[in-house]
Amino acid sequence: MTKKFLYLLALFLLSSRIAFGINSSIADTPDTSDKYVLGATENINSETVPNPEEPFIFSALPSFDEQIKTSVKTADARPEIIRQYLHKYKSPLEPSANLIVALSDQYKFDYRWLVAIAQQESNLCKHIPDNSFNCWGWGIYPEPGNPEVLKVTRFDSYEDALRRIAPQFTKIFLKGNHSKDPNEVMKTYTPPSDGSWADGVSTFFGHLE
């Protein structure tokens, strides 16, 4: 029994060596047939077939990096710029960041005006007449017969104020050459100012760049 086992084992080892030698010979034989590479449009010979152990470059794949860069460039950053600015100063106008940009575009003036004037007039709504929601000093002036009493234009909410004031900005102040020059706007928005109003608005414009 032992001899038979040893005989079979020897036979198995011999046949394995023969089979291994044949496979190695076949593997070493160059294959001249045409092969295909993923993404190529024509047959190529074996010399141009990539090594399986090396990374492939697929010619048909899109550049995801370029797609991401394009989407970032086309995104509108203005609402986020305003939101962060208002958040920094803890302004109650922060939830209205998108509306500020939308109204500015609708009435065709720089999106920074509504924020910069609110900053100059009321420190972004922190110092306004009670229950007025009037952050822009809009329609606030002394009573003609009693200078110690202020006449105050009031709104129902900050959104109401923005929607009602934005079109008036275009009609009265932000048109022609005034649209980009705080000094020109100051002449009609707050004539008594000695120039500090325009300087403040210009500074806040810079902060919102």
Supply the pLDDT for residue 100. Answer: 97
Q: Are residues 196 and 112 in the same domain?
A: yes
Cα–Cα distance for residue pair 206/135, rounded to 1 Å: 20
Is residue 137 helix, strand or coil? coil
Supply the pLDDT for residue 10. Answer: 60
Domain count, the chain: 2
| 136 within some domain | yes
Judge contact between 155 and 134, C-beta under 8 A.
yes
Rounded to a whole number of angstroms, the CA Rg of the chain reads 38
Q: Are residues 84 and 169 in the same domain?
A: yes
Supply the pLDDT for residue 149. Answer: 80
pLDDT digits (tens, 9 = 90+) for 149-200: 888 999 999 999 999 999 998 888 887 666 778 998 898 888 889 999 999 9
Residue 154 lies in domain: 78-207
Percentage of the chain exceeding pLDDT 90: 44
DSSP tally for the chain: helices H, then strands E: 8, 2
Q: Mean pLDDT over residues 1-26, rounded?
A: 57
Give Cα 113 distance to the centre of its chain: 21
DSSP single-letter state for residue 44: B
Mean residue pLDDT of the chain comes to 77
Supply the pLDDT for residue 173. Answer: 83
For 139, the enclosing helix (H) or strand (E) is none
